[in-house]
């Protein structure tokens, strides 16, 4: 796997969790925490939480198995979200700081995408680009709003999807969602020319990707599968103002 990052590196995260397991993430938000932009505070807490859990043999075993790795990362993100919310002035009627996050766990030839907000993940394969997460932005309102984001509520509400990777694939994480066929075509052309041009994290998976791909069994492509995960005690997440989108 080869990585390329363009733009604000404090808004991107790449972390190797095991021999064949990587965590990739991009964040974007508004407001601050501890003197840091909320997206930087979010990614720093995720990194620290992962480092702390790596001392546990149970976590180390889980993180090297596809479905178990996704479940383990949901637990990490739920804890981080709760800690962030507790350190803000957010409540049901007012949000002072919140962040969009798209995280990808790459393990044994699978990519698990955990997403909330206005960031996005795409799969580039064989001359085409497909989204790997649903859109949390509701454009039909007079002012675009987000249905969910990190630190907006004590309960973590995220979308989860997964896709089987094959050699030659690239996962693209963006600080914004691209709209329409023209923007997708432009992004694909930039990827092919290695001209990234904006805040972006690109992970490319080649034939010699080593531990990323299992040594036995042929990779079979399937369309991304989407689900929703709510971690913790059920609670409603209010809509966020368009400041998230324009930050």
Q: Mean pLDDT over residues 94-106, rounded?
A: 91
At residue 93, the pLDDT reads 76
* CA 19 to each of CA 7, 37, 177: distance values in angstroms, whole numbers, following the listed order: 28, 32, 31
CA-to-CA distance for 236 and 180, rounded, in angstroms?
A: 31
Q: What is the DSSP letter of 204?
A: E
H helices of the chain, in order, are: 38-53, 57-62, 66-86, 180-192, 243-246
Q: Which residue has the higher pLDDT, 222 or 163?
A: 163
The pLDDT of residue 148 is above 70: yes
Which stretches of 108-238 are assigned E, i.e. beta strand? 110-116, 120-125, 128-131, 137-138, 145-146, 156-164, 170-174, 200-204, 225-231
The CATH architecture one would assign to domain 2-246 is 4-Layer Sandwich (3.60)
Place of tokens 């009627």: 93
Phi, psi of 53 (to 5 degrees): -75, -20
101 has which bridge partners? 27, 116
The pLDDT of residue 229 is above 70: no
CA-to-CA distance for 242 and 90, rounded, in angstroms?
A: 16
Residue 241: which pLDDT band, with cuts at 50, 70 and 90? Answer: very low
The C-alpha angle with vertex 197 and arms to 191 and 202, in degrees rounded to 5, equals: 45
H helices of 109-234, in order, are: 180-192
Predicted TM-score of the model (pTM): 0.80
Identify the three-state secondary structure at position 16: strand
CA-to-CA distance for 43 and 26, rounded, in angstroms?
A: 8
Spans of all domains in the chain: 2-246
At residue 76, the pLDDT reads 96
CA-to-CA distance for 31 and 206, rounded, in angstroms?
A: 38
Of the candidate ranges 8-22, 29-43, 219-233, the one whose mean pLDDT is the lowest: 219-233
């Amino acid at each position: 796997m080869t990585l390329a990052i363009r733009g604000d590196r404090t808004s991107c995260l790449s972390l190797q969790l095991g021999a064949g397991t990587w965590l990739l993430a991009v964040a974007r938000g508004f407001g601050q925490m501890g003197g840091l932009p909320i997206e930087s505070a979010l990614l720093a807490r995720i990194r620290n939480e992962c480092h702390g859990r790596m001392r546990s043999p149970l976590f180390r075993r889980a993180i090297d198995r596809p479905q178990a790795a996704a479940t383990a990362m949901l637990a990490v993100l739920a804890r981080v979200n709760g800690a962030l919310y507790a350190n803000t002035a957010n409540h049901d009627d007012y949000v002072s700081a919140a962040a969009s996050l798209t995280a990808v766990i790459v393990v044994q030839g699978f990519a698990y995408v955990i997403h909330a907000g206005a960031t996005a993940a795409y799969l580039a394969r064989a001359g085409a680009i497909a989204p790997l997460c649903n859109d949390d932005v509701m454009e039909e309102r007079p002012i675009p709003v987000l249905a969910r984001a990190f630190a907006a509520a004590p309960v973590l509400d995220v979308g989860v999807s997964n896709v089987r990777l094959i050699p030659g694939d690239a996962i693209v994480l963006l600080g914004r969602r691209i709209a329409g066929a023209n923007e997708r075509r432009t992004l694909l052309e930039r990827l092919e020319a290695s001209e990234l041009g904006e805040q972006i994290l690109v992970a490319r998976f080649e034939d010699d990707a080593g531990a990323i791909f299992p040594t036995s069994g042929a990779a079979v492509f399937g369309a991304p599968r989407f689900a929703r995960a709510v971690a913790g005690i059920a609670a409603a997440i209010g809509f966020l103002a368009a400041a998230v989108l324009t930050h």
